[in-house]
Structure 1
Amino acid sequence: MRLVVHHVSHYRFETPVRRLVQTHRLTPADSASQRVLSWEIVTEGATKGAIYRDGAGDLIETVSLRGPVDELVVEVRGEVETTDLFGVLRDHRESVPPGAYLRHSRMTRPDSELRALADDTLDGMENDTALNRAHALARAIAEAITYEPGLTEPATTGAEALALGKGVCQDHAHALIATALAADIPARYVTGYLQSGPDGAAHEASHAWAELHVPGLGWVGFDAANACCPDDRYIRLGSGFDAQDAAPIRGVLAGGVSETLDVDVSVAVKSQSQSQHQQQ
């Protein structure tokens, strides 16, 4: 499948910023499940640094802007060819060992309820495969947390989302990572794009899911918010210990007081007519 992405992040600052530095994890890395055909990031007026690959295999770019700056627009346009590998991450270049992801953050700390959920879910599965155990945890989170936007905050932890029983993709990912860690399974947070949801409607913001490390397979993605593994509707951007660590855009301001952010994302399947037009 060929997916066309248009992602705009519009920052507005209450008072002009003297200097702004951002780290962008906005460029997909090639792997067996995705191949970048074209990709462009436009940050008007900013100075860009070189793109480098970090230990997790993600592509990182730093941009800086001297003020006074009262607004900033980061625009991403690109096209990616995707392949359904049932969530298995293959041919992704990285050097960090899976064991490094046995560490929890504040967002993914397994409390007593998350540990109990992991124990109950895996009870009797001691002789089952590691993949089936991972699937069982993902199903348990999908059943325990109903997808409902507007009830949680960016700082909501996986434990808080489980207690509430409702949340968004970020909350599902944090809770799933926490239950995996409670079961001594390396797990990490992944950001990216999703072409459509369960109802077929286009997503208006970037998406998130979790990857659990399965011996013999490597990293396998689980999207508990949609009760599935990532397929050819997904584009993987980057990973980290939690949403903050894996954020597509992270920044430092000098002189600013507060900011507002408007995000608009569209991910569409490229039609055959579009492909024919480009070839002419």
Structure 2
Amino acid sequence: MRLAVRHETHYRFDTPLAQGLQRLRLSPKENHGQSVRAWRMELTGARVEVVYDDHNANHVTLASILPGTTELVIACEGVVDTADRAGVVGRHNGRLPLWAFQCQSPLTRPGARLKALAAPLAAVGDDRLAQLHSLSQAVLGAVTYAPGHTDVGTSAEEALAAGRGVCQDHAHIFIGAARLLGFPARYVSGYLLIEGRTEQDAGHGWAEAHVDGLGWVGFDVSNGISPDARYVRVASGRDYAEAAPVTGITWGQTASSLSVSLAVEQQAVQQ
């Protein structure tokens, strides 16, 4: 499947900034089932300082905000070819060893609720892949998809207590529980083609767990499936904080507003 993506993030600042830095994980990477045909990023109000691959093998652009900026625009556009591999990404790469993905983070650290969710699955046979699918179903059953009740700082345990959340919350709960069950697990940020809808409010997030013999396997808890050809994989990390599309720090700011426009659509492939 050939997918075209247009993604713009627009910040408006009440007063001119003195300076700032933005870490941008907005460039898809090549992997099994995904080929990047074209991708470009344009910045207004900032300049690129360096481009590098981080410890998770994500493509990262470090940009400095120009002094006096009142509007910052990050615009990305590109075309990615994808294939349905039943969620299987394959072998591990990056600088972090697999065992690092078994360590909990503040966003995935289990409390009593998360431990209770994972406990019944510890005795689910010897089929490790089936165990993870059962976990995905359990997470979705425990937390209804409902925007507006959590934010980027909400932990897995807090989302479980609320019983409502979004894709980020589902992924963090899955990751925390999978680690309790002995799986290396990580967060993935990217894009999803939604049937009948081109314009979207935000990117998408899901989880991956490492299964012996298969490597990394994806689980989109919010949609109850493993990622297929409709998904564009952009960045991964031990939790959302390591895979967030945009993070940064500014000086001289009093207040700001943020707007995002995103479009994902299928393109015809010429034979």
TM-score with structure 2 setting the length: 0.94
- Match among 243, 257, 260 for residue 260 of structure 1: 257
Note the C-alpha offset of 1:94: 2.1
Unaligned runs of 5+ in 1: none
- Say which SS state the counterpart of residue 172 (structure 1) adopts: helix
The CA distance in 2 between the partners of 1:212 and 1:252, in whole Å, is 31
Q: Percent identity?
A: 41
1:184 aligns with 2:185: no
Give CA deviations for 1:121-171 in whole Å, capped at 9, x if unaligned.
333x2x422211111111111111111111222221111111221111011
| Whole-Å separation in 2 of the counterparts to 1:170 and 1:119 | 22
Question: Which residue of 245, 250, 262 maps to 2:247?
Answer: 250
Aligned alpha-carbon RMSD (Å): 1.7
Matched residue type, 2:26: L
The DSSP-based 3-state class of the residue aligned with 2:89 is coil
For these two proteins, the number of residue pairs brought into alignment is: 270
List per-residue Cα deviations over 1:46-101 (Å, max 9, x = no partner): 32134222221211111112211111000000000001111111367423221111
Cα distance in 2 for residues equivalent to 1:100 and 1:258: 37
Structure 2 CA distance for aligned equivalents of residues 99 and 210 of structure 1: 16
1:149 counterpart residue number = 147
Q: Secondary structure at the match of 2:68?
A: strand
Q: How does 1:267-278 map to 2 (within 5 A)?
A: 267-271=264-268
Match of 1:241 in 2: 238
Give yes or no for the alignment of 1:224 onto 2:221.
Answer: yes
Q: For residues 90 and 6 of structure 1, what CA distance do their matches in structure 2 show?
A: 27
Secondary structure of the structure 1 residue equivalent to 2:55: coil
For the Cα contact (< 8 Å) 1:42–1:76, is it kept in 2? yes
Q: Which residue pairs with 2:99 in the alignment? A: 99
1:92 to 1:74, Cα distance in 2 relative to 1, 3 A: farther
Q: How do 1:22-171 and structure 2 match up within 5 A?
A: 22-90=22-90, 93-123=93-123, 125=124, 127-171=125-169
Structure 2 residue ranges without an equivalent (≥5) = none
Q: Which deviates more from structure 2 when the two are superposed, residues 146-155 or residues 34-43?
A: 146-155
Given that residues 50 and 63 in structure 2 are in contact (C-alpha distance below 8 angstroms), is that contact kept between their aligned partners in structure 1? no
